[in-house]
Amino acid sequence: MDAEIESVAVLGAGSMGHGIAEVAAIAGYDVVMRDIEEELVEDGYDQIEWSLGKLAEKGQLEEDPEDVLDRVSTTVDLEAAVADADLVIEAAPEDLEIKRDIFADVDAASGPETIMATNTSSLRVTDIAEATEHPEYVCGMHFFNPPVKMDLVEVASGEETDEGVVDAAVEFVESLDKTPIRVRKDVPQFVVNNVLTPLMGEAGFMLDEGDVEIQDVDAAMIFQRGYPMGPFELNDFGGLDIFTHSRDQWDLPVPDSIRSRVENDNLGRKTGKGFYDYEDGEGVNYE
């Protein structure tokens, strides 16, 4: 197949969904962003507006933010969102059944050559694609948080993905001015999360054993290893519930220091507290 991508639908307006929609709009695509409730869609739209404002303020946006926003439309209607899309990017919660339901609906409501991409971070593309009649049109397109700031995108093939679909997905990622890597084997968590989640897990196990201080580990990885965030700060950033859920799905061990925080609803930045306390503007402090 030889696909030309002009219009994009993003399913999900959460931190990944709205970020992906924003990135596509910045690159000049018309984007429909859809979520299941009006309030979620509005929150996502507001986040895009905030982020574009920040980029403009720092001289990192070539266009007027309003012109970029004009390319983003919103809806709660899945069929309307995908009907005219050349590419659909799903960024729904990390749950196989939810994603399978969405892909079955997208397959039924979209055109015969629509590329259906999942932003899954921990599931297999093949398991999601099985819910459709056209698994050859399904691929992984895994962005990193926050999409507008992170350069890498993993483009993953399922067992039945057409090579032309992968080529088109890679070209699309390049058109966003991002760097794609092809993940040819359909392993859960692809490349980055396979390496990253054990790092965050190992830091948690060391904390369980009382061997380390949170700030010391993060500071070591930042100042000695050159990471932008240490493993605890990064886990707070992505959400400790997301980390725990992705490990549990594959029966991988989760440190008590992480699980207990999740049980107490201390999920990281989004709840104001995780390994660090973000309330009252405190946040991360390595001193």
Distance CA 277, CA 225 (A): 24
Interface residue with ligand 3HC, options 70, 149, 223, 283 (CB under 6 A) = 149
The two three-digit tokens of residue 16, written as one number: 């990944």
Q: Is 238 in the site for ligand 3HC (CB under 6 A)?
A: yes
* Residues 119, 121, 125, 127, CA torsion sign: negative
Picking from 68, 69, 111, the residue whose alpha carbon sits closest to that of residue 87 is: 111
Instruction: Identify the active-site residue in 154, 233, 246, 266.
Output: 154
Q: How far is the CB of 259 from ligand 3HC (least distance, A)?
A: 18
Q: How many residues bind ligand 3HC (CB under 6 A)?
A: 16
Interface residue with ligand 3HC, options 20, 24, 40, 55 (CB under 6 A) = 55
Q: How far is the CB of 108 from ligand 3HC (least distance, A)?
A: 27
Q: Is 54 in the site for ligand 3HC (CB under 6 A)?
A: yes
Task: Respond yes or no: is residue 257 known to be catalytic.
Answer: no
The two three-digit tokens of residue 53, written as one number: 């404002």
The two three-digit tokens of residue 274, written as one number: 């995780």
The torsion angles phi and psi of 146, rounded to 5 degrees, stand at -85, 130
Q: What single letter denotes the amino acid at residue 98?
A: I
Task: Respond yes or no: is residue 282 known to be catalytic.
Answer: no
Q: Which is nearer to ligand 3HC, 1 or 98 (CB)?
A: 98
The two three-digit tokens of residue 54, written as one number: 């920040």
Distance CA 178, CA 183 (A): 16
Q: Is 144 in the site for ligand 3HC (CB under 6 A)?
A: yes
Q: Which is nearer to ligand 3HC, 149 or 211 (CB)?
A: 149
Q: How far is the CB of 242 from ligand 3HC (least distance, A)?
A: 6
Residue 42: HSE in the Cβ half-sphere, 13 Å Cα cutoff = 3
Active site residues: 121, 142, 154, 193
Write out the residues near ligand 3HC by the rule CB under 6 A.
Answer: 51, 54-55, 121, 144-146, 148-150, 193, 196, 228-229, 234, 238
